[in-house]
Amino acid sequence: MPSFKDLELSAAMQANLAQLGFSEPTDIQARALPHCLAGRDVIAMAQTGSGKTAAFGIGLIESLKPKLFAVQGLVLCPTRELADQVAKALREMARAQENIKVLTLCGGVSIGPQIGSLAHGAHIVVGTPGRIADHLRKGTLELKRVTTLVLDEADRMLDMGFQDTMEEILGYVPKQRQTLMFSATWPESIRKLSAGFQRDPVDVRAQTQSGNTDIQELFYEIPAQERTRAIVSLLSEQQPASCLVFAP
C-alpha cells in the first residue's frame, strides 16, 4: 500500500495531512485517490468508516482554484448528519489551501441564513438533495463552475427516494466534470446511475474489513409501553461511560 508521500500531493497538503495524523492511507484511499487526483470518474464501493471522505476530499481540494470564488465542488449526502460530518472533514483538509470556504446546505433548518451565506460565495457545497434542489429552483445556488461532483453513499440516497432529485440536480452541473460515486452496496440501481452520469469510471472496491470483535450484541424483547422504563433500567445496570441510542 502506498503512503501519502507516494502520491502527487502539494507540499501544503502533505504537511496538513501529517498534522491531522494521517500516516498511511486506508485501503479505499490507496485505491481511489490516484484516480481522483488524475481527474478520472470513480465508482467506489466502501463501507462507512473506511476513510472514503478523504478518498474523495483530498483530490477535490487539490483541484480547487482558491482565487475563483465560485462553487467548484458539490458533495451530495443522504442525511444532514452525514453532510455535517463530511463538511467538517473537508474544512480540516482544506487548511492546506488559503481561504477555502466550505458551505453546508441541508433541510431541517431555515433556508434564509443559507441564502445569505451563498450570497458571499463558497468553493465547496455539501448538502442533501432536497435542500440543494430548493436552492437551484430559487436561483440562489449556481453550479455552472462545478468541476467535481461527489455522490456520497449513493445507495442510501436511492433507497430514500432521491433519484429524481439527484437527476434534477445533475442537470444544473456542467457535463464536462469529474463525477465520484461512493456506495456501500452494488445494486443494479447504482450501476444504472453510474452509466447515466459517469464517463468510463474506474471501478474501485475496498477490501471488506472484519467486524469489531469487542462488540457484544444482546437482544431484549420488550412491550412498547415498557420501552422507556427498560432503557432507563438497562443504563442504570450497565453504567456505560458513553452511549448511543437510535430511535425511530
Cell representation of residue 45: 464501493
Determine phi and psi for 103, rounding to 5 degrees.
Answer: -115, 135
pLDDT one-digit tens code per residue, 8-61? 899 999 999 999 999 889 999 999 999 999 999 999 998 878 899 999 999 999
| Amino acid, single-letter form, for residue 216 | Q
Q: Are 26 and 2 in contact (CB under 8 A)?
A: no
Whether 93 contacts 60, CB under 8 Å? no
- The confidence band for 88, taking pLDDT boundaries of 50, 70 and 90, is very high
Q: Tens digits of per-residue pLDDT, 123-166?
A: 999 999 999 999 999 999 999 999 999 999 999 999 999 999 99
Flag whether pLDDT at 231 surpasses 70: yes
Output the pLDDT for position 49: 81
Given this model, what pLDDT does residue 211 score? 45
pLDDT band at 210 (very low <50, low <70, confident <90, very high): very low
Instruction: Kindly report, residue by residue over 89-132, the tens digit of the pLDDT.
Output: 999 999 988 899 999 999 999 999 999 999 999 999 999 999 99
Look at the alpha carbons of 134, 75, 145, 112 in this order and tell me if their dihedral is positive or negative. positive
Which residues partner with 204 through β-bridges? Answer: 44
Q: Would you say 59 and 204 are in contact if contact means Cβ atoms under 8 Å apart? A: no
Give the model's pLDDT for residue 2. Answer: 66
If you write DSSP's letter for every residue of 78-96 in order, what string do you get?
Answer: SSHHHHHHHHHHHHHHGGG
Contact criterion met (CB below 8 Å) for 74 and 173: yes
Count of positions (residues) in the chain:
248
Output the nine-digit C-alpha cell for 125.
Answer: 457545497
> What is the pTM for the complete model shown?
0.83
The domains of the chain, with CATH numbers, are 4-205 (3.40.50.300)
223-228: long-range pairs with CB below 8 Å, 24+: none
pLDDT at 214: 55
Label residue 69 exposed, middle or buried (CB < 10 Å: 0-12, 13-18, 19+).
middle
In whole angstroms, what is the distance from residue 172 CA to residue 162 CA?
16
